[in-house]
Structure 1
Amino acid sequence: MSDPTFDRLGIWNWESENVADEIEYAKYAESKGFDSVWQGESRLVRDAMTIMGAYTQVTDSVKFGPGVTNCYTRNVALMAQTFSTLHELSGGRAMLGIGAWWDPLASKVGIDRQNPLRYMWEYCTVLRKLLDLETVTYDGQYIQVEDIELDLVRANAEPRTVPIYIGATGLTMNKMSGELVGNGTIDGVYMNYLIPPSHNERAMEKLTEGVEKQGGTIDDVDRPQLIAVSMDEDADVAIDNARGLVTQYIGQQPHITKASGIDPEVGEQVGEELGGWPASAEDIERASRLVPDEVVTNIVAAGTPEDCVQKVADYCEAGCTEPSLYSLGPNVKEVIDVFAEFKAE
């Protein structure tokens, strides 16, 4: 087997011990030739926008975006305003990864996700028009705006070329995302993690169906992907280090359980042991005993450096255009160093 190569590489930052570490990882990734830094914002941890503002001041070339924020808690006009500002601060390096969030967290903060597909379509449609500096009136089922535009009286009044990526996991969301790429609204999808490469293949079919419906091709759809990496010279240690995260997601997020291909009964048993969201460390430890090694290695790049590189290459073979590496351990720089050796020149 020949060594894989990666045309593009990114990292994913989320919940490091302190913010300074995440800023350092962004700088280090850039120094090693990485192309992007994605900032997690799926839970109530750190605000991605604040940290990305810091990235604009300490990096020169790497692109960055939230991986992903959600389409509910920021009004569409505020989102356009925020990314117009980040575009200015970074010299055009800002990207936007946006998803439909997840329950029970959304419902716990008062968000009713009764039709996330329609909401996302309307939100992205209005957002793109605002970033293109259009004056927008839109009367949708969920989004209604009247005669608004980015008020760039003193700022550089050029359209904000901010790539938009929908964080799509479900196959229907992938098909819709393909349609939105095809009609020029978004640029691609930010493929999810804790799913097997085989799910990528199913998503590719739906992306192709959607984009071709609008007269495009799958090559029009950019497909960066968040991929969890648990790396250790001892493969058993690496797998054990990933088990807790896998346990949390398959027990708490049904869309991940469905996409992962895990036996639904296993998912239900894990969920019962966790006892809901949030779960304590003791809950996670107890439930993780139900999660075998093969479940972990099916959805995480877990093992030796060689194992991890090959698993990430499998995701790329199945449709990912840019791996976004999330180190599950403290060895973030080691993960960056290992993958930098396989970066295409």
Structure 2
Amino acid sequence: MKVGLELGEFVWDGGPAAMGRTVAEIATVADDAGYDLIGVGDHVWQGPHAGGPGMPQLECFTTLGVIAAHTRRCRLAPVVAGVHFRAPALLAKTVTTLDVLSGGRAVLGIGTGWDADEAAGMGIDFPPTAQRFAMLEEALQICLRLWHGDERPFDGEHYRLARPLAEPKSLSRPHPPIMLGGGGRKTLRLVARYGDACNVYPGPDLAEKLDLLRELCDQEGRDYDAIEKTCIFPFTVAEDGAGASELTDELHRLSAAGIDTAIGIVSGSDPVRQVSVIGDKVIPAVTG
């Protein structure tokens, strides 16, 4: 199994003045410790799970750029980009830039988004769920068209591009991997149709979700085994290592269930220490 991390909370020792240094230290420690992926949540407000909009939230792609500058091998991903935040061509350009500047390590994590209050508060359109799913499929088509060098006009229901042109092209070939967040039928169908990875929560219905993905892959003519199965949940390991054995057992269980990569949401006032402890006590036990 591979192990990644996500930065989802930013109440750290030192406050905003130390955030740049903290992000750089997390990146360096994680890269050296063998984490496979570093992700950043894509929000402009902090979510209710981490104290709500009064708590700090760093912008996703700016933070990933800092992480890219302080790593050599980790994959880099928004976990996951809300389709309503950016025009698809701008999203593709942003991910391509991250890919080029990181030496080919970018992943496009993308989904329909979920925080209506955040969107309303910040003046960002947040269409109904069905429309966001339609936008998501068109966004995926546009990203792939740009990455494949197809400059024909795109005339969709939600987006229109007269000339989908993007230079330079990504270093990742044939394109940066696409990871779709969500475990419902609509999302998993898009995984089967366009994705390279799924990203789900490891609840009691995990086996059902993976079975559904296999069924949808069969329908779409995709190789189920070629799709990376990832899951995301909080990694609760104390600074003294308490909880490491329990996390190790959980990761072994998820691996046996068919998960390839577990992405841990790290929290607490000293995330560098937590990332280091997990790298020391957990990663060697599950990746060996």
What's the TM-score bracket when you normalise by the shorter of the two chains? 0.7 to 0.9
2:154 aligned counterpart, secondary structure: strand
Which deviations, in whole Å up to 9, do the C-alpha atoms of 1:163-188 show, x marking residues without a partner? 1111123233223322x2xxxx3212
Q: Residue in 2 aligned with 1:176? A: 190
Q: 1:145 aligns with which of 145, 161, 179?
A: 161
* CA displacement, residues 62-114 of structure 1 (integer Å, 9 cap, x when unaligned): 11111111111111111111112111101101111011100433652331134
- For 2:258, which of 299, 308, 319 is the aligned residue? 319
Name the structure, 1 or 2, with higher relative contact order (CA <8 Å, separation 6+). Answer: 2
Q: C-alpha distance in 1, partners of 2:31/2:172?
A: 27
Paired amino acid for 2:205: H
Matches within 5 A, 1:15-54: 15-16=9-10, 17=12, 18-42=19-43, 44=45, 45-54=57-66
What's the counterpart of residue 111 of structure 1?
Answer: 126
Question: Secondary structure at 2:34's aligned position in 1?
Answer: coil
Aligned residues: 262
**Alignment check: 8 A CA contact 2:88 2:142 kept:** yes
The separation in 2 between residues aligned to 1:336 and 1:220, in whole angstroms, is 27
Q: Which runs of 5+ in 1 are unaligned?
A: 1-5, 239-302
Q: Who is 1:263 aligned against?
A: none
Match of 1:14 among 8, 22, 33: 8
Label 1:30 to 1:157 Cα distance change in 2 as closer, same or farther (>3 A). Answer: closer
Q: Could you tell me the percent identity over the aligned residues?
A: 20
Provide the C-alpha distance between the structure 1 equivalents of 2:111 and 2:103, rounded to a whole number of angstroms: 25
The answer (yes or no) to whether the contact 2:239–2:277 under 8 Å persists in 1 is no
State whether residues 37 and 63 of structure 1, in contact with CA within 8 Å, keep that contact through their aligned partners in structure 2: yes
Give how far 1:209 is off.
Answer: 1.6
Change (3 A) 1:140 1:327: same
Task: Pick the aligned partner of 2:233 from 222, 227, 252.
Answer: 227
Q: Work out whether residues 235 and 266 of structure 2, in 8 Å CA contact, stay in contact via their aligned partners in 1.
A: yes
RMSD across aligned C-alpha pairs, in angstroms?
2.5
Scaled by the length of structure 2, the TM-score of the pair is: 0.82
Q: Is there any run of 5+ residues in structure 2 with no aligned partner, and where?
A: 13-18, 46-56
Residue in structure 2 matching 1:92, options 104, 108, 123: 104
Secondary structure at the residue paired with 1:334?
A: helix
Match of residue 79 from structure 2: 67
| Distance (Å, rounded) in 1 between the aligned partners of 2:85 and 2:125 | 10
Q: Do the aligned residues in 2 keep the contact of 1:126 with 1:136 (CA within 8 Å)?
A: no
